[in-house]
């Protein structure tokens, strides 16, 4: 499987654990997961990308879409990523200013909006 | 000049195939590991763009990729076969400040982010019309040969 997804609840947050590659082929699966979570009333999401090997613009587009969807419900979407080569694509596109990015799930869960 | 050519049906699943081949050849050409990561991303972006264009225009002809190493440069050319491409032309800075949910749903946001990534990443990029119709995206980076050439010149 190119992309793995799992979710768990941590208090009032939902952690989405992503693994593998997020590209034009696999991004729709992540998009559907985020849409499902929001339509089920989960508006505070933490996307754990520590296990992600590859992220491209399609993946970024899905994450931005997710962020906008939760914000429509006064929610939040935080990312967990400490890998320089994944952070690089956020920097190049200026999206480090758009997403709160944390270096651990613990840090993301402790953050307040 | 060493050349590898790949031709693939415009399907999202084949973009990864193109990335794998490009990185394998870049490593063989002694390209620096950080640059191999950039190539992986840039080739993926250019091929995703081509797939998106073919699909939105109902174009079933294959997308072509050529990879070559010549005179200290590793060059990738991604060729699409879409006759009327509005995004052709100089690759300029892309303004992402007005992204919206609607854009992400129809893929046009990803298309703009994709261009921004290529522009930000690639050492040298050109988008030119292909003689038989469609577009060629030319991208190149220094290969391992450059370091050797530079060292040899310095020692001369």
Which pLDDT tens digit goes with each residue over A60-113?
999 999 999 999 999 999 999 999 989 999 998 889 999 999 999 999 999 976
A87 touches chain B (CB under 8 A): no
In this model, does residue A4 exceed pLDDT 50?
Answer: yes
Query: Greatest CA span in chain A, whole angstroms?
Result: 34
Render B32-67 in DSSP notation, one character per residue.
-HHHHHHHHHHHHHHHHHHHHHHHHTT--SPEEEEE
CB B76 within 8 A of CB B133: no
CA nearest neighbour of B48 among A28, A87, A84, A86: A28
- DSSP bridge partners of A15: A8, A46
Best of A23, A71, A98 to disrupt the B interface (most B CBs within 10 Å) is A23
Of the candidates B101, B107, B116, which has its C-beta nearest A93's C-beta?
A: B116
Q: Are the beta carbons of B117 and A21 separated by less than 8 Å?
A: no
- d(Cα B66, Cα B78) in Å, to the nearest integer? 7
Q: Helix, strand, coil: what percent of chain A each, to 5?
A: 40, 35, 25
Of the candidates A56, A60, A92, which has its C-beta nearest B120's C-beta?
A: A92
Q: Are the beta carbons of A65 and B101 separated by less than 8 Å?
A: yes
Query: What's the pLDDT at B151?
Result: 42
- The answer, yes or no, to whether ipTM is higher than 0.95 is no
- The two three-digit tokens of residue A1, written as one number: 């499987």
Query: What's the pLDDT at B93?
Result: 52
Best of A93, A95, A96, A98 to disrupt the B interface (most B CBs within 10 Å) is A93
Per-residue pLDDT of chain B (156 residues; tens, 9 = 90+): 678 999 999 999 999 999 999 999 999 889 999 899 999 999 999 999 999 989 989 999 999 999 999 888 999 999 999 875 555 544 445 555 555 555 555 556 666 677 778 877 887 898 888 888 888 999 999 987 544 444 444 444
Q: Are the beta carbons of A93 and B16 separated by less than 8 Å?
A: no
């Amino acid at each position: 499987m190119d992309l793995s997804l799992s979710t768990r609840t941590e208090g009032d947050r939902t952690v989405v654990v992503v693994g593998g590659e997020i590209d034009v082929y696999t991004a729709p699966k992540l998009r559907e997961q985020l849409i499902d979570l929001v339509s089920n009333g989960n508006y505070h999401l933490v996307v754990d990308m520590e296990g992600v090997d590859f992220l491209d613009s399609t993946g970024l587009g899905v994450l931005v879409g997710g962020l906008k969807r939760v914000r429509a419900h006064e929610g939040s979407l935080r990312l967990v990523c400490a890998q320089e080569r994944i952070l690089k694509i956020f920097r190049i596109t200026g999206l480090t200013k758009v997403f709160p990015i944390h270096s651990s799930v613990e840090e993301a869960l402790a953050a307040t909006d | 000049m060493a050349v590898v050519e790949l031709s693939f049906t415009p399907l999202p699943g084949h973009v990864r195939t193109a990335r794998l081949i490009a990185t394998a050849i870049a490593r063989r050409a002694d390209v620096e590991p950080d640059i191999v990561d950039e190539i992986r991303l840039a080739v993926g972006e250019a091929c995703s763009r081509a797939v998106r264009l073919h699909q939105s225009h109902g174009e079933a002809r294959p997308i072509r990729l050529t990879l070559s190493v010549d005179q200290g440069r590793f060059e990738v050319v991604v060729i699409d076969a879409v006759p009327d491409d509005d995004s052709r032309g100089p690759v300029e800075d892309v303004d992402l400040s007005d992204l919206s949910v609607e854009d992400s749903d129809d893929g046009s946001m990803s298309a703009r982010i994709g261009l921004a990534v290529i522009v930000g990443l690639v050492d040298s990029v050109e988008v030119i019309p292909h003689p038989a119709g469609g577009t060629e995206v030319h991208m190149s980076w220094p290969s391992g040969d450059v370091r050797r050439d530079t060292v040899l010149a310095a020692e001369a």
